[in-house]
């Protein structure tokens, strides 16, 4: 493969995805939100759905989705993206509709909306970013915060006696009949990034093929609120986080119910 | 019921709640989301039966919170869309309504109100005036609020609500109660005739052939949110100037002017007719739009009468808008009947008493 | 080797490492790091299997000492660094 | 001709149906009319009631506090509504189920009709009891004309029960006849 | 931070949001439920750190809807309980608040408000006046609403809010904004001194030794809901009569009277002092209770001045209550600055202009 | 056992439970809400917790819980009973706290509240009445409505394409770490009634022993809105309903996590 | 046998079947059905393993033809009927 | 003595800490004072700023539109805040990171301090840069007395970093000295 002596390299191997707007993001250094945005943009490009997409932004660090992904975007109130997306998709069944939501957004305040969207088998795709905290509001406990983890509202560490257990959304949603695809991925190593892309592609395909609800849960970092360097934060994902939240595909529908 | 539309050219006996559905469908609404609650279940039930055949969407949401956000999504898609609920459900929609007002999204929200506060009861009431008219959600927006007092108006005002919502890109509310919602009356379908253009260049339909668009209410940069608030304010002022509607009823030579809306106004009509037969010079100004409130009309009226009698099925809410509209505060009288209809007899008694005192 | 021992005032939009002064013939790829956009998260550094990238000293307008394409001669153009960078600062050519 | 009536009985006795029919008839005769059914949790426990107001003028309230007439198909409804009836008002009771001795007021015009018995024995279907009662009310009050009621029957009777329309007509007639006797 | 309570006897530099926590704890509140939202996160964070050691409960709920219902449950148990939130979260609490008002349950709700409508922004704003004061939920109840304008008042008014809530068995709200919430000022803890009895014979504690009790808002029988509404109305009228509070600031001889609350009032103080130095006879009436609104005070004031200048960080909400309070509508002027603080300079300019016109 | 010739019977074998208030209920004829109320009252008696209990009523046909069960009762807004109960239990951990909720209440509008109460392991008991419809409001679709079932808002029968799938709450909640006990029972035969009682007893014991969240899902009838005679309604429970919603114990914690 | 061929006006609070006129010596239990509270749902009828209960004809004040303890002689006092009755109308003695 | 200042820089430079310290010092000296930090999403992207107002009278607004002084620790903050500075106001910049040529106004009193360099080279810790800057501001403005600042240090420095208090004192002094030179 290696061409000895080549000094000019003109073939682009990696360039900014077309659907990723060419601006600086507000994300903190090393925050995986950026990586996940990139992956979403790449998949939009891959399936050529950019001009046919409507994204639904959540409230959380990903609220500026509309500034970063070059598609039509509607802002949903905190936690309500799946309901808003339902309203969009029912009105425009031919469009590609996705939400992008944090773990506070999806697994706390928006629990009901995501469960019922999944249960109805709404034909849309959810990108779910689990960073075990409320990034945007300054690092409070999320439903996904690990036991013992210190956050600004669990200053002594999360204790299941008072704060309950970290909730596993990929598994929970996989248990619903309307869910076509549910997987948990991470982006802390190059290999994980590859797998994550594959999962998002599957999720996109589910929607494109009318199979119903699809969700990809990302284990993500929040270096800022974890009080860690980005590399250490990745280490945490690779360690205790994926121990508690196992990566994998929890449901994959092979055929549409009505096929 | 399915033959209603077919027969729509002649008089039929129709329920108020169903008249809303006919109005919505006539106005081109094909999308309905809702969650059951008494006393408005006829609306989702009618829509469930009829929208699919019209190629539309009926969806029973898992809650009113989800409902209003589905409404938001469909509205952002550029489609006419409606929901209906009552007190507790409308309260749960307040966050979403605030987002819609902030994002400048049109929709029609029907409140067939019941008794409160809390679970309250299902008796007719006008206890939600404040919530509807002053903005129950955060951030100080306004809803356009229309108050039908007959089955026929349930139809016409619903059509109007869609037009106004689209024209001003803001949610409009029909504020009814169990009386106008549950009763049947002779009804005649009138043709839908709209001046509002159907074009929605702001709608999210995918960015093919254009720049991407956003529908949002967040404004973080510099003083963008201040600018946005003044913009919204300007819109609401325009609505005030242009869209105020009220009915004058037997106001010629009146010395007593009732001000009442919806069912309270309807009952008042009977009492006023009786009083007129007794020779008492009484009439009524009936606000049809609660926001915008007919301030100018009340201002002018108060100068020509001895007393303005505000009648509400609550303990006093619209009376505040009357008091704001005229400086003649000592001419204002109030008859309240929370969570119940005043009877024509009660109203007549009060009119007689006022006539004795003032006339 | 280190191209970026520039003072913080002598800025350029893209890392000049993209046009390395010295190049061993083994390189089969080339990257560019967007100097102004880099947030110095350091994730690309261990990600590169060839250790081509190091953290620089020059601080960009946002206050971050951008990563630098230090050893271009070893670059295979595998694009792992680019895939890794959360801020899409890296472009890769082959 | 102006009037108003509250009709009440067990769920299943056809109260809402005869109320609807009366309102429809009034409309057909060009009158102003409102029909107001009880709704919501009140439906639980097997009772039903509705109010019909007929008038030559625009109608204010579709709900009346002092109805000019009552049509009472069962005992519990008597207790609930009798106090509301306007003095001198018409009280039509289904004496098959409601005892006359429960009529604790003597300032009302009582019309006692064994509607269930007539329906069962003369019409051949207990279901027709409310029609008998309606016939009596129409005859007693003159609020609408009986033939218009007949004409309107097809609009309230579902296709499935179309064949029973003649029975309904008979029931209405029987009721009207009894009202004539008692009037 | 944990040494705050210990040092409470001398002046400390304290954040407004934390002063609320100190006030609540001083007033015996040991139960807090909440959901994060900017700009009030200091409150849950403080409570999370301190309540456990006091034997209390801190619980981060899954949403504001859940929050307000946990509040309802703890209040029904007879305990003092508090939550805090901002715009969107407060909107989601409207159904629960209506239930609490209907069920006559006390609690303290803190709204450190932000810009709206919708997601809006986190800039300081007074856009939630209507929602707080007119009742954002259904059914026409009222909240007691207190508006602190300093860190010290964040403390004292929180203690007062608990007392009033218990005394009248109804929810009370602290309406602040990002300025009073986020700023630090010298603060001195004053002792908690309450006239309100702690006894709650209505609390649900198990029916040992007594008949079972209910806490509910449903009233279905006959006209029970009407009776209940008049009862609540009577209570709110009593609150109006007894609990109105306002500060008079440099009103002696004033010909221009500013009416402003919270942060707007605070900024106005600077402008008024500057104007006084210029010899302009200007003062301020600062409503401390927004409900009950100081109607009588405004009424009296309007008669003695040339102009009442209402200043709000919105496009005009409290000005409606001013207009209602006095018939002298043409003396009312308004300066609005939605989602931003007016600067003292702006206010001074306006005062100067009014002085030129009127003085 | 049989005493020949006995003509006087004085030993009460079945009398009204002490905790069941001696009034006529508003329930329709044959509605299982009545049966379930009785069972709850019996268990309250059995554990002697009447004077120590706080019940949380839902909004639905069971809204009048306070008129029927002789304990302190607080009314929760529709769907919010688990949150209200959390507020009660956290304030009074020594009290016995239970909610009684319909399927619209618990599985639609109250999804989030029940999931998070379970996930937190709130030490309270939920009595959940699944009658596949909204009884109180006149028979609309519930999240538990079976596919094909006609309701007033699914006049052509529930279709998964537009209305989603009937949701299985006992299973879903069993999947959460905070749940100590989750079972589904019915009361359509004497044997089922016996099993149902045993399940409620287990659920009560979980709370009494501080084991965390317990729930018993009842398959119940709504003869009125199903348009069926009570006996036929029972038949439906025994037939298609328990086919889709299998009876059984889905989770039973043997030992407290913190024991 | 049927005790309740009474006209609707001749009401008693409790079914008189509780004191049956005829009784075979095999009975080991006895029930009482609350006539006014019975909603005639008929669930107790098939529930009784001894077929002791039938639906009556007399209509109570709520309009329901209450169930009747028709065959007291067969009653075992097993209480299945009472457990079954949603309205707690039935009491059982042994 | 009355004054107000906006301080701004990267997150991690200790901006909020020196603002807090200044406010605390003013309080100790019996002055009215307010401290207002930037909050919320504005914290993202690595910038921080706060406003301190000191006065002999009750303070109205804790946020100022036209501050009398600016303390600028990095480049982006200069762009954002320079336009706000009152004419004739004090502009203190960390010239180690902020180029003087970015000062596009000449109606302000510039005090250019290589705070990072001094911190690193003279104090031995880059972390002390903001203390150097604060020292300069205090000396230049006279808003509070330097010894009171020293006294207040223990209240803002957490136990863990108590041992660095002497370093902080040195940094403050260095800054003050520089201000003296430039004044
Ligand atoms: C109704 C409502 N409640 C609370 C908030 C405040 N809020 C904004 S983002 C957020 C949580 C963000 O956490 P998460 O969803 O995990 O996203 P992240 O920032 O971690 O990516 C909250 C609570 C809000 N905007 N609206
Ligand atoms: C917020 C709100 N939305 C809707 C209602 C109306 N409502 C009352 S009960 C009910 C559903 C009842 O169904 P379910 O919970 O299944 O109980 P059931 O009556 O079937 O026992 C609804 C939607 C309400 N009271 N509050
Ligand atoms: S706060 Fe956390 S989640 Fe948000 S951008 Fe920063 S690192 Fe990412
Ligand atoms: S392309 Fe591959 S080899 Fe080249 S710098 Fe990037 S990661 Fe290293
Ligand atoms: S991964 Fe990107 S942002 Fe991070 S150091 Fe490397 S180039 Fe900079
Ligand atoms: S409506 Fe259904 S659930 Fe409600 S009481 Fe009647 S039968 Fe029972
Ligand atoms: S106790 Fe047993 S045998 Fe006797 S009637 Fe009841 S079910 Fe039948
Ligand atoms: S089960 Fe009860 S209510 Fe039903 S018929 Fe038997 S006794 Fe009557
Ligand atoms: Mg998160
Ligand atoms: Mg149900």
| Architecture of the E5-205+233-240 domain | 3-Layer(aba) Sandwich (3.40)
D97 touches chain G (CB under 8 A): yes
Give pLDDT tens digits for B62-80: 999 999 999 999 999 999 9
| HEC profile of chain E | CCCCCCCCCCCEEEEHHHHHHHHHHHCCCCEEEECCCCCCCHHHHHHHHHCHHHCCEEEECCCHHHHHHHHHHHHHCCCCEEEEECHHHHHHCHHHHHHHHHHCCCEEEEEEECECCCCCECCCCCCCHHHHHHCCCCCCCCCEEECCCCHHHHHHHHHHHHHHHHHHCCEEEEEEEHHHHHCEEEECCCCCCCCCCCCCCCCCCCCCCCCCCEECCCCCCCCHHHHHHHHHHHHHHHHHHHHCCEEEECCCCCCEEEECCHHHHHHHHHHHHHHHHCCCCEEEEEECEEECCCHHHHHHHHHHCCEEEEEECCCCCHHHHHHHHCCCHHHEEEEECCCCCCCHHHHHHHHHHHHHHHC
- Choose from B1-10, D139-148, H36-45 the range with maximum mean pLDDT: D139-148
Does domain B247-354 match CATH 3.40.50.970?
no
Is the pLDDT score of F20 beyond 90?
yes
* Main-chain dihedrals φ then ψ at residue E177, nearest 5 degrees: -145, 180
CB-CB contact of D83 with D91 (8 Å): no
What is the CB neighbour count within 10 angstroms for residue E276?
15
Ligand 7 touching residue G92 (CB < 6 A) = yes
- Predicted pLDDT of residue F184: 98
Is the pLDDT score of C2 beyond 70?
no
Residues 6+ apart with CB under 8 A from G14: G32, G33, G34, G35
DSSP state of F145: P
Burial (CB < 10 A; 0-12, 13-18, 19+), residue E197, is exposed
Residues 6+ apart with CB under 8 A from F36: F100, F127, F129, F187, F196, F218, F220
The CATH number assigned to the domain holding D70 equals 3.40.920.10
Q: Return d(Cα E100, Cα E105) in angstroms, integer.
A: 5
Per-residue pLDDT, averaged over G50-79, amounts to 94
Per-residue pLDDT, averaged over G40-45, amounts to 98
Angle of CA points A100, A57, A117, to nearest 5° = 60
If you count residue pairs, one on C and one on H, with CB atoms under 8 Å apart, how many are there?
A: 15
- The nearest alpha carbon in chain D to F63 belongs to D41
Q: Residue G70 has which token pair?
A: 């028709």
Give pLDDT tens digits for F194-205: 999 999 999 999
Q: Find the H156 Cα to ligand 3 centroid distance in Å.
A: 27
Q: Atom 10, ligand 1: which residue's CA is nearest?
A: A60
* E139/B87 CB distance under 8 A: yes
Q: Find the B329 Cα to ligand 3 centroid distance in Å.
A: 56
Does domain A33-220+229-251 match CATH 3.40.50.720?
no
Angle of CA points H12, H14, H20, to nearest 5° = 140
Give which of B43, B46, B60 to mutate to test F binding, by max F Cβ within 10 Å.
B60
Q: Would you say the CATH fold of B247-354 matches that of B5-205+233-240?
A: yes
Q: Where are the domains of chain A?
A: 33-220+229-251
Q: Find the F29 Cα to ligand 6 centroid distance in Å.
A: 8
- Per CB-CB distance under 8 Å, the chain C contacts of A20 are 88
* Token pair 């759905």: residue: A49
Is the pLDDT score of F255 beyond 90?
no
Per-residue pLDDT, averaged over B12-31, amounts to 98
HSE on the CB side for B294, CA within 13 Å? Answer: 21
Per-residue pLDDT, averaged over D69-78, amounts to 93
E63 touches chain A (CB under 8 A): yes
- Per CB-CB distance under 8 Å, the chain D contacts of G63 are 10, 46, 74-76, 97
Model ipTM value: 0.95
* Residue F107 region by backbone torsions, left for phi larger than 0, else alpha for psi between -120 and 50, else beta: alpha
Identify the three-state secondary structure at position A151.
strand
Q: Return d(Cα G94, Cα E87) in angstroms, integer.
A: 65
* Ligand that comes closest to the CA of residue F31: 6
- The nearest alpha carbon in chain A to F171 belongs to A175
Give pLDDT tens digits for B118-174: 999 999 999 999 999 998 999 999 999 999 999 999 999 999 999 999 999 999 999
Q: Which domain holds residue H16?
A: 2-178
Q: Residue F169 has which token pair?
A: 């709450």
HSE on the CB side for F77, CA within 13 Å? Answer: 37
Ligand 7 touching residue G52 (CB < 6 A) = yes
Structural domains of chain G in order of their starting residue, each with its CATH number: 2-93 (3.30.70.20)
Q: Return d(Cα E100, Cα B120) in angstroms, integer.
A: 11
* Token pair 């009073």: residue: E180
In a domain, D63, yes or no: yes
Residues 6+ apart with CB under 8 A from A108: A79, A142, A143, E35, E62, E63, F116
If you count residue pairs, one on F and one on G, with CB atoms under 8 Å apart, how many are there?
A: 91
Which pTM was predicted?
0.96
E225 touches chain F (CB under 8 A): no
Residues 6+ apart with CB under 8 A from H55: H2, H3, H31, H32, H33
Give pLDDT tens digits for F196-245: 999 999 999 999 999 999 999 999 999 999 999 999 999 999 999 999 99
What residues are paired with F73 via a beta bridge?
Answer: E214, F55
How many structural domains are present in chain D? 1
In the structure, what pLDDT confidence band is assigned to residue H29 with cuts at 50, 70 and 90? very high
Q: What's chain H's length in residues? A: 183
Choose one of C20, C43, C81 to mutate for the ligand 4 pocket test, by most ligand atoms within 8 angstroms of C-beta. C81
In a domain, H27, yes or no: yes
Is the pLDDT score of D114 beyond 90?
yes
Give pLDDT tens digits for C11-64: 333 444 444 445 456 899 999 999 999 999 999 999 999 999 999 999 888 889
* Residue B187 region by backbone torsions, left for phi larger than 0, else alpha for psi between -120 and 50, else beta: beta
Q: Spell out, as residue ranges, where chain E has pLDDT lower than 50.
A: 1-9, 358-359
Give pLDDT tens digits for D43-69: 565 678 999 999 998 898 899 989 999
Q: Where are the domains of chain B?
A: 5-205+233-240, 247-354
Ligand 2 touching residue B234 (CB < 6 A) = no
What dihedral do alpha carbons B60, B63, B68, B70 form, nearest 10°?
-50
* Token pair 């905190």: residue: A78
Q: Residue B45 has which token pair?
A: 């039930």
* F87/E218 CB distance under 8 A: no
H46 touches chain C (CB under 8 A): yes
Per-residue pLDDT, averaged over D118-128, amounts to 93
Q: Return d(Cα F57, Cα F101) in angstroms, integer.
A: 7
CB-CB contact of E151 with E180 (8 Å): yes
* B225/E137 CB distance under 8 A: no
- Predicted pLDDT of residue G50: 97
Measure CA H136 to chain center. 8
CB-CB contact of D8 with D67 (8 Å): no
């Amino acid at each position: 493969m290696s061409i000895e002596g080549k000094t000019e390299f003109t073939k682009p191997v990696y360039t900014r995805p077309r659907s990723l707007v060419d601006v600086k993001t507000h994300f903190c250094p090393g925050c995986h939100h950026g990586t996940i945005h990139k992956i979403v943009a790449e998949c939009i490009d891959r399936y050529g759905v950019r001009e046919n997409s409507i994204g639904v932004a959540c409230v959380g660090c990903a609220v500026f989705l509309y500034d970063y992904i070059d598609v039509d975007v509607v802002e949903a109130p905190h936690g309500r993206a799946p309901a808003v997306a339902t309203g969009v998709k029912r009105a425009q069944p031919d469009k590609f509709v996705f939400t992008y939501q944090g773990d506070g957004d999806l697994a706390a305040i928006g629990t009901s909306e995501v469960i019922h969207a999944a249960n109805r088998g709404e034909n849309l795709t959810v990108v779910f970013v689990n960073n075990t905290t409320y990034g945007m509001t300054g690092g409070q406990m999320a439903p996904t915060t690990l036991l013992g983890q210190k956050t600004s509202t669990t200053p002594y560490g999360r204790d299941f006696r008072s704060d309950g257990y970290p909730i596993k959304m990929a598994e929970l949603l996989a248990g619903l009949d309307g869910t076509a695809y549910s997987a948990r991925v991470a982006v802390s190593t190059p290999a994980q990034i590859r797998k994550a892309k594959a999962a998002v592609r599957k999720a996109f395909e589910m929607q494109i093929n009318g199979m119903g609800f699809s969700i990809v849960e990302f284990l993500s970092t929040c270096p800022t609120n974890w009080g860690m360097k980005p590399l250490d934060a990745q280490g945490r994902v690779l360690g205790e986080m994926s121990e508690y939240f196992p990566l994998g595909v929890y449901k994959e529908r092979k055929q549409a119910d009505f096929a | 019921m399915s033959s209603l539309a077919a027969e729509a050219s002649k008089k039929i006996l129709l329920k108020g709640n169903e008249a809303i559905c006919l109005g919505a469908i006539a106005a081109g609404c094909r999308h309905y989301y809702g969650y059951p609650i008494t006393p408005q279940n006829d609306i989702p039930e009618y829509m469930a039966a009829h929208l699919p055949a019209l190629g539309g969407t009926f969806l029973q949401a898992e809650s009113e919170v989800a409902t209003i956000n589905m409404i938001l999504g469909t509205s952002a898609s550029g489609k006419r869309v409606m929901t209906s609920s009552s007190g507790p459900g409308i309260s749960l929609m307040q966050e979403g309504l605030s987002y819609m007002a902030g994002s400048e999204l049109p929709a029609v929200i029907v409140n067939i109100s019941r008794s409160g506060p809390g679970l309250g009861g299902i008796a007719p009431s006008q206890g939600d005036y404040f919530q509807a008219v002053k903005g129950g959600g955060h951030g100080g927006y306004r809803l356009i609020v229309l108050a039908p007092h007959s089955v026929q108006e349930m139809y016409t005002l619903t059509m109007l609500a869609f037009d106004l919502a689209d024209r001003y890109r803001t949610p409009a509310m029909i504020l009814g109660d169990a009386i106008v919602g549950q009763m049947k009356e002779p009804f005649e379908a009138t043709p839908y005739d709209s001046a509002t253009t159907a074009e929605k260049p702001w709608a999210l339909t995918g960015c093919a052939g254009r720049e991407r668009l956003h529908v949002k209410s967040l404004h973080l940069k510099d003083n963008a949110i201040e600018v946005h608030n003044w913009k919204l304010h300007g819109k609401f002022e325009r609505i005030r100037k242009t869209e105020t509607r009220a009915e004058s009823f037997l106001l010629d030579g009146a010395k007593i002017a009732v001000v009442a809306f919806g069912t309270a106004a309807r009952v008042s009509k009977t009492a006023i007719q009786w009083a007129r037969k007794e020779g008492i010079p009484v009439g009524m100004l009936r606000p049809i739009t609660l926001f915008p409130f007919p301030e100018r009309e009340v201002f002018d009226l108060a100068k020509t009468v001895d007393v303005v009698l505000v009648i509400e099925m609550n303990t006093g809410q619209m009376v505040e808008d009357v008091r704001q509209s005229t400086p003649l505060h000592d001419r204002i009288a109030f008859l309240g009947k929370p969570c119940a209809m005043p009877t024509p007899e009660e109203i007549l008694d009060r009119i007689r008493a006022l006539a004795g005192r003032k006339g | 080797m280190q191209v970026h021992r520039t003072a913080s005032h002598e800025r350029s939009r893209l890392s000049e490492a993209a046009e390395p002064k010295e190049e061993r013939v083994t390189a089969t790829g080339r990257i560019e790091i967007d100097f102004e956009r880099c947030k110095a998260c350091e994730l690309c550094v261990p990600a590169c299997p060839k250790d081509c990238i190091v953290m620089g000293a020059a601080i960009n307008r946002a206050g971050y000492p951008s990563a630098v394409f230090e050893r271009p001669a070893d670059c295979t153009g595998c694009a792992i660094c680019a895939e890794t960078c959360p801020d899409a600062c890296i472009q890769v050519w082959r | 001709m102006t009037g108003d009536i509250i009709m009440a009985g067990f769920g299943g006795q056809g109260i809402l149906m005869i109320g609807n029919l009366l309102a429809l008839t009034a409309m057909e005769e060009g009158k102003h009319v409102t029909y107001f059914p009880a709704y919501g949790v009140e439906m639980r426990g097997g009772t039903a009631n509705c109010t019909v107001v007929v008038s030559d003028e625009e109608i204010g309230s579709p709900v009346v506090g002092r109805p000019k007439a009552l049509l009472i198909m069962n005992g519990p409804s008597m207790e609930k509504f009798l106090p509301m009836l306007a003095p001198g008002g018409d009280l039509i009771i289904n004496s098959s189920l409601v005892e006359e001795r429960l009529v604790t007021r003597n300032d009302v015009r009582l019309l006692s009709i064994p509607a269930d018995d007539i329906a069962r024995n003369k019409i051949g279907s207990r279901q027709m009891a409310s029609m008998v009662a309606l016939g009596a009310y129409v005859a007693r009050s003159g609020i609408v004309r009986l033939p218009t009621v007949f004409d309107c029957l097809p609009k309230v009777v579902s296709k499935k029960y179309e064949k029973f329309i003649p029975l309904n007509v008979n029931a209405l007639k029987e009721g009207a006849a009894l009202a004539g006797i008692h009037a």
